[in-house]
Amino acid sequence: MGEYSKLKGADGFEFGVYRAAPAGARKGGVVVIQEIFGIDEHIRRDVDRWASLGYEAIAPSLYDRREPGFTAGHDAEGMTAGVTHARATPLEQALSDIDACRAAMAAAGKVFVVGYCYGGSLTWLAACEVPGFAAGSSYYGSLVQANADKTPKCPVIIHLGRQDAMIPADEVKAAVQAKNPNVPVYIYEDAGHGFNNEDPQRLNQASAELARQRTLELFAGA
């Protein structure tokens, strides 16, 4: 099980993180980037899962300058609050905090980045703009298509759900591979948005397990 602590950003602000130590020998570090709902139970479980797989894992609370410790439910009210915070949080600030998490684990070896929804967008941007990550795994990020012309600084893979009403999987894949033909973009035919999230209305277990296996293989080979 992980625990909460604080980490100082480049601007001196101390933001919250949920951090878990690896089970057994450390395979690397993983920065886990939240959905729009904050460091909720699903992200905490994901951090704990990465730790159980042998990775030191840390998730930054990216809205803390606006609302410390924010979490929201997966309902209309929570969606509105989460989207509001995400849009009001400068991407440069979020990437800076992600980099602070990377730096906090870098002395112990390789550090990877994985993120979901809002975090999937930030994972793609971090892989392209933040030096020092060994590899990245981006899940259903809505900003990937608009930033598909960027060039990753590390190996990165992208996961999309065919049934995702918010993200046109084929268009995203075409946009990414037009500039970066060697970036794998996986489309999961039976999955919708948030298929890695354990909310029963969103989870697609088979797709989540396959995406995680692909991510583990990427990290192991980086």
Q: Which domains does the chain have, with CATH numbers?
A: 3-221 (3.40.50.1820)
Q: What is the pLDDT averaged over residues 180-187?
A: 98
Q: Which amino acid is at 213?
A: Q
pLDDT of residue 104: 97
Catalytic residue, chosen from 117, 128, 154, 159, is 117
Q: pLDDT at position 198, please?
A: 82
Higher pLDDT, 103 or 199: 103
Q: Quick one: the chain helix, strand, coil %, rounded to 5?
A: 40, 20, 40
117 classed as catalytic = yes
Residue 60 pLDDT exceeds 90: yes
- Is 46 in the active site? no
Whether 197 shows a pLDDT value over 90: the answer reads no
Centre a 10 Å sphere on the Cβ of residue 113 and count the other Cβ atoms it contains.
Answer: 30
Supply the pLDDT for residue 152: 98
* Contacts (Cβ under 8 Å, ≥6 apart) of 100: 7, 8, 9, 10, 60
Q: From CA 9, how far away is CA 97, in angstroms rounded?
A: 6
Q: Is the pLDDT of residue 1 over 90?
A: no
User: What mean pLDDT do residues 161-185 have?
Assistant: 97
Within the chain, residue ranges assigned H as helices are 41-52, 76-88, 91-106, 118-129, 169-179, 205-221
pTM, full prediction = 0.96
Q: Report the distance separating Cα 53 and Cα 45, nearest Å.
A: 12
Q: What is the pLDDT of residues 7-38, one digit of tens each?
A: 999 999 999 999 999 999 999 999 999 999 99
pLDDT of residue 97: 98
Percent over 90 (pLDDT), the chain: 95
pLDDT surpassing 90 at residue 116: yes
Active-site choice (40, 46, 64, 164): 164
Distance CA 18, CA 24 (A): 19
Instruction: Please identify which of the residues 42, 85, 159, 193 carries the catalytic annotation.
Output: 193
pLDDT at residue 193 is higher than 90: yes
pLDDT of amino acid 42: 93
| 97 catalytically annotated | no
- Predicted confidence at residue 8, as pLDDT, reads 97
The SS3 of residue 70 is: coil
pLDDT given at position 203: 84
Residue 129: predicted pLDDT: 97
Asked if residue 200 has pLDDT above 90, the reply is no
Say how far apart CA 56 and CA 175 lie, in whole Å: 33
Average pLDDT of the chain is 96
d(CA 13, CA 93): 11
Dmax (CA) for the chain in angstroms is: 44
- Average pLDDT for residues 182-209, to the nearest whole number? 92
Predicted confidence (pLDDT) at residue 126 exceeds the cutoff of 90: yes
